[in-house]
Structure 1
Amino acid sequence: MQPPLPPRWLDKLATRICAPHLREELLGDLHERYALRYHRTGARKANFFFLREVVALLRPPIMSREPSPYGSPSAFSCDMLRNYFKIGSRVLLKNSGYSLIHLTGLSIGLWACMMVATVVIDSLSYDRQWSRKDDIYRIVTVNKMGEGLFERNSSSVMGLAPELQKNYTAVESWSNISSGEKYFKIHPEDNDGINTSLLTADTSIRKILDIKLLAGSLKHSTQKHWSLLVTQSYAARLFPGQDPIGKIIYDVPIFSPEPTPYEITGLIDDLPYNSHLRADAIRLEVTKPEPLVTTGIMSFGRNYILLKRGTDVGEFTKKVNAWYADFTKNKGREQFEFQPLKDIYLHSDFAEGQSVKASIRTIYIFAGVALLLLFIACVNFVNLSTAKAFARVKEAGVRKVLSGSRTQLVLQLLTETLLLFGISIGIAVFAYFSTLRPVENFLGHRLVLTFTSNILMAGGRIADVPPHRIAHGPLPRLDYLGLQTGQYLTRHIHSIVGANGAPQNARRRTIFHFNHRIARYHRSLAAIRPDEKQRPRLR
């Protein structure tokens, strides 16, 4: 008959208090006295006296540890870290199929997530580099077509912007800006030209956008030629190694028989590519405010206004619409909205003439796909780690028998995880760099903010992934470091039969496989780590 044992928590407390060289003798005496009191006075008094004796052990002579005659190397020493990586690499090479599946899933998941995240981040960066980006708005015309039916247009009456500046002090400046493409050639007799992204604006554009003049002038030429501001990179394509100021270039005529001459009057710094106003050159026009009329022929264009800092756009919009309804007597059939510059690229589905634009719905879908890919990669990592973890229970038991500490086991598992991650991120980065140009060709435009061009962006992404791998990778494996036989079998009972049981036909189909697992796991686990209650007490 097995002698009665004291409460488990008291027994563990006494084990922690006693020094290792006194533990066997003192705990043996405590257990003998507990068994004697248990039979004489009952469990309650036996537990009480056992608690008193455990508290009495709190004395320096009993608690002080003797120095070990054997040196214990630190788990973080250079030799131990070298061994961790050596053993980890051997484990990965030994389980080559498992490692290949791991690396393939992680690499594809990271590469796809990085690529989709690049498209999303680049799209969200449009028109956010201008110094007055929060104060620049585009006037959008809203026509009421019926009850609850409205039509939006990115163009507005040409005379509206100067009239707003005249009537409202909140408007600092305005400019009419349109975009398009033209082919320019150096000599009028040339047949082919260079495709050029062209902005057409009046001279007040310099008050709205950050245009850095490198040479020449921003003023319109007094000659009969069109004035052209060219960017530094475009000038290098036209006149490599030459000063472009004052040179004449010609467009490729579409409707007229003769080419139109353009004089380069200014050299400016390259405009941001991640902007809906990206351009290689700017054609300047003389600012000619048109009068705002209600009848007759009216011209329309894309009007941009610059408001003073801190202006309430909502209140300003109400005032403008009320004033315009009173001015035109149209009873609100035609109103205006002021679209922020930062929203134009992603919120211009109605702007048919705008060539540089995207849909915010597409960005939401891409962002969801990126998160889904990262989630699938993490789940795949966890599933593979869990499937392999239970196959290494024997290895963990042998390490414990050979005095391997829990910290060393955890560090070994973390090393294997970091090795997998390091190789996967290397493959993913190589694939990302190799496929970036084809993705840009597929999208039809260049990506400005990428992991290869932005060091902070790349560093943040790489630093963000290891916590996911550390959190999701070793945790399934850590279960078997302190696994009990009963817990292990309970998990597999639930995984095979179900936590609440399964239908009778399902149990019949799995009964043989279930019994085989019970017999196999009970033999291996009981031999490696017996249950605590089955361990003999040493006197």
Structure 2
Amino acid sequence: MLKSYFKSAWRRLLRDRQFTILNLIGLSTGLAGALLICLWVSDEMSVDKFHEKDRQLYQVMNNLKTSQGIHTFDITPVPLSEALVKEMPEVEYAVAVNDFFNWQSKDGILSSGNKHIQAQGWHAGKDFFNVFSYDLILGNKDQALADENDIVISATLAKKLFYTTGNAIGKTLEWNYPFYKGVFRVSGIFKDPPANSTSHFDFVLNIGVLLKNDREAKNWTNYLAKTYLTLRKGTNVGQFNEKIAGYLKTKNPGLDPFSLFLQQYSAKYLNGKYENGVPAGGRIAYVRLFSIIALFILLIACINFMNLSTAQASGKMKEVGVKKAIGASRKSLIIQFLAESILMAFLSLFIAFAIIALILPQFNAITAKHIEPDNVAGFILPAVAITLFTGIISGCYPAFYLSRFNAVAVLKGRLSTSFGELWVRKGLVVVQFTISVIFIIGFLIINEQIKYSQTKNLGYNKDNILCFQWKGALYNRWNGLSEGKSNDRFEAFMAGLKNVPGVISATNMPGNILDQIPLQSGVSWRGQATDQNYLFQSPMVGYDFLETLDMRLKEGRSFSRMYNDDYSKIILNEAAVKMMDLKNPVGKNIDLNGKSQIIGVVKDFHYGSLHNSIEPLILRFDPTGPNIMVRIKAGMERNTVEQLKRYYSEFLPGYTFDFTFMDDDYQALYASEMRVAALSRHFAVLAILISCLGLFGLTAFTAQKRQREIGIRKVLGATVSDVLIMLSGDFLKLVFFAVVIALPVAWWAMNKWLQGFSDRVTINWWLFIVPGMMALLLALITVSFQSIKVAITNPVKSLRVE
């Protein structure tokens, strides 16, 4: 019997091809869009969740209280991990991890015989593999980093060095690092970190190597590590946070402004943003946003499906009457209608899976993900449940409403579409277009903000700036490393850069102008309130920094070889001068880890992204920074890069010349926003397409239902335009009402999103009017296509007896 129901439903779907195709296109594209978003959300939620002790694994975070508010860092003193294990019974394991080595390069050369491989490594405590679940293929996780001469390498690196992982244990590797050299014994091999890990590295050395080569690393006042720990089961995290809040002060009274707390390690990826010491979201905002978008896309598709299904069902009243008259039970009619609706829904699901398989590579390219087709299998059961629910809901109207009518009343034509049914259908159309218009407005405003971020005057010129890193040995007063105190080779390299064809100027710095690190506290000056502690952005820069980046001096001068500038010379930005309330600052001294003289004031510039406001900044001098920036002549990029590559290899044979352009690096700061804009564009098009399909189907149904009325009107003298206005007027009113609802909702949502930018675009009126007009125009085209077709039909055909 069930087979006959589905067979009958299949024949009906084939008979009503127009409605069938419209339903299939609308629901399948909606399901495909929603499932793709679910795949993306699932991938985001899985990041760093693979660690065995995920619920116990935390990172120690650090709040610094200043007069400007509370600033949150993820760096801590190296000795903290060992002290926590010894003094806090709640801590099971703790490790200090250094993945940046005093803000310098992570690159070095690992050698085995004649094999030389450039690699990146970490320094970590001996319990690294007890804290993190990076699987060891060979070696013991308790002993792998027990000795300072141990090195644990990845499986990929082992194959590059030894062609296999099987015979690597016990072999020695020579490490040639910019700051030290050493020979280490392979004590373990780990599987490469998975794709959903935020950490990727080639090898791990014992943290003792860092302590031995950097004399400042042992100090509690030197922040060179990230501290990770696992708490014992049953530990109350809130109480533990209270216990360690003032812990640094017990080690050094000068660390009183600092306060420690824990953040779950796997939560940091999605919740890594802090404002005034309080969690303020992060990527989780986009996860929530796209979860809502997925829900809305599916809602639009389901509304479309239900609208068309119920509209089509209204034309089945006579069929229901005939079937009931010849003995069909209400139960059989309910099953028949539900079978038809469920069959349609599952056909849409199969098409949706085909669409996903087809566009998944493009989706991965847009989202920068590596979602495999196999990942879709995990969503089959939820997708089936959603599809079954949609099929049942959309089939409920014909199944339970039409099946209850009296057969005689139906056959006599005494039943008509109810007032409530019409208003529900109209309400659903309004909901569809409201969501669609919000999507379009959202896309336009996000796109405007991205354009604004890319064209905004940052206070420096990022165009034609080539960035690369010096990977050789360096010595400076900040790290005190023992590897050769002469920088002659580096100085010769920097001096020779100006002679490379196509190079206009060059400079260097230890950090990156886009990273917004490091920070400086403990600054004092005459006239400062004694009870106030201020925090400054304090990048260290080399010669020709202002000139290379086209920064403008307000007064004074820049760092120059002519004046034999040293570490005691500094340059302030306008914001710093204003905060310090300095009059005629050039030539004055402030206390910055010693007496420092102000030699210039630079115009304010954005240090980092536009998410952050311009803050007080001190440019410190350091001619040994390994990050090099070169301004090259426009139009000579390719030739200049080749010349620089050859020049670089002369000084650093064996190291690869890895470079980027600053404007590309700057755009990468807004990668999340650009992906949101791209996805919003695609889903806005999808939403409006599904809505228009539904409107097209409803117009066709209305025209078909009023076919006789239209014929009579035309016989009585109605023109094509009269018929067009009659059919399209009601639908355009609904779309207009949807636009009126969408505008304030979209303004509120986008205004809230823009609050995440300290410097943001002004929301112009056209960003709301254009989407509204677009929705009305598309609705008019959709309705008119079907209306004109009916309006030009010969009235004789319309008035024929059925």
TM-score calculated relative to the size of structure 1 = 0.65
Question: Which amino acid is the alignment partner of residue 364 of structure 1?
Answer: R
Question: Which amino acid is the alignment partner of residue 71 of structure 2?
Answer: E
> Residue 347 of structure 1: SS of its match in structure 2?
coil
TM-score calculated relative to the size of structure 2 = 0.45
1:77 match: none
Which of 203, 206, 224 is the matching residue for 2:129?
206
- How far did residue 155 of structure 1 move? 0.9
- How far did residue 480 of structure 1 move? 2.0
1:430 match: 354
* Paired residues, number: 412
The superposition leaves residues 54-73 of structure 1 with CA deviations (integer Å, 9 ceiling, x where unpaired) of: xxxxxxxxxxxxxxxxxxxx
Which of 48, 51, 64 is the matching residue for 1:143?
64
1:243 match: 166
1:333 match: 257
Q: State the structure with more CA Rg.
A: 1
> Residue 318 of structure 1: SS of its match in structure 2?
helix
Alpha-carbon spacing, 1:183–1:435, altered in 2? closer, same or farther (3 Å) = farther
1:98 match: 19
1:320 aligns with 2:240: no
- Gap runs ≥5 in structure 2: 101-105, 276-280, 428-705, 713-802
2:36 match: 115
Q: Separation in 2 of the partners of 1:199 and 1:419?
A: 56
The superposition leaves residues 285-314 of structure 1 with CA deviations (integer Å, 9 ceiling, x where unpaired) of: 244797999989624221112222212222
Which of 416, 421, 440 is the matching residue for 1:488?
416
Q: Does the 8 Å contact 1:135/1:307 carry over to 2?
A: yes
Q: Does the 8 Å contact 1:226/1:261 carry over to 2?
A: no
Question: Which amino acid is the alignment partner of residue 385 of structure 1?
Answer: S
1:479 aligns with 2:401: yes
Question: Which amino acid is the alignment partner of residue 94 of structure 1?
Answer: R
- How far did residue 176 of structure 1 move? 2.0
Alpha-carbon spacing, 1:161–1:379, altered in 2? closer, same or farther (3 Å) = same
Q: Separation in 2 of the partners of 1:125 and 1:319?
A: 31
1:274 aligns with 2:196: yes
Q: Does the 8 Å contact 1:203/1:284 carry over to 2?
A: no
Q: Does the 8 Å contact 2:305/2:394 carry over to 1?
A: yes
Q: Separation in 1 of the partners of 2:184 and 2:209?
A: 20
1:163 match: 83
Q: Separation in 1 of the partners of 2:60 and 2:376?
A: 34
1:452 aligns with 2:371: no
Question: Which amino acid is the alignment partner of residue 303 of structure 1?
Answer: T
Q: Separation in 1 of the partners of 2:253 and 2:165?
A: 57
Q: Separation in 2 of the partners of 1:220 and 1:435?
A: 44
- How far did residue 426 of structure 1 move? 0.9
Question: Which amino acid is the alignment partner of residue 129 of structure 2?
Answer: R
Question: Which amino acid is the alignment partner of residue 160 of structure 1?
Answer: L
The superposition leaves residues 209-228 of structure 1 with CA deviations (integer Å, 9 ceiling, x where unpaired) of: 23433224555689998723
- How far did residue 318 of structure 1 move? 1.7
Q: Separation in 1 of the partners of 2:111 and 2:210?
A: 33
The superposition leaves residues 126-170 of structure 1 with CA deviations (integer Å, 9 ceiling, x where unpaired) of: 3333232222211111111226x2111111122222222232222
Q: Separation in 1 of the partners of 2:85 and 2:206?
A: 19
Q: Does the 8 Å contact 1:211/1:268 carry over to 2?
A: yes
Q: Separation in 2 of the partners of 1:444 and 1:262?
A: 36
Q: Separation in 2 of the partners of 1:362 and 1:187?
A: 45
Q: Separation in 2 of the partners of 1:288 and 1:242?
A: 25
Which of 344, 349, 356 is the matching residue for 1:420?
344
- State which drifts further: 129-138 or 263-272: 263-272
- How far did residue 404 of structure 1 move? 2.2
The superposition leaves residues 31-62 of structure 1 with CA deviations (integer Å, 9 ceiling, x where unpaired) of: xxxxxxxxxxxxxxxxxxxxxxxxxxxxxxxx
The superposition leaves residues 314-365 of structure 1 with CA deviations (integer Å, 9 ceiling, x where unpaired) of: 22222222343455435852111211123111111369xxxxx961101110
Describe how 1:20-419 pairs up with structure 2 within 5 A. Answer: 80-146=1-67, 149-179=69-99, 199-216=122-139, 219=143, 227-231=151-155, 235=158, 243=166, 245-246=168-169, 264-277=186-199, 279=200, 281-287=202-208, 298-325=222-249, 327-329=251-253, 332-349=256-273, 359-419=283-343
Query: Whose RCO is larger (CA < 8 A, sep 6+)?
Result: 1
The superposition leaves residues 379-407 of structure 1 with CA deviations (integer Å, 9 ceiling, x where unpaired) of: 11111111111112122222222322222
Q: Separation in 2 of the partners of 1:121 and 1:197?
A: 29
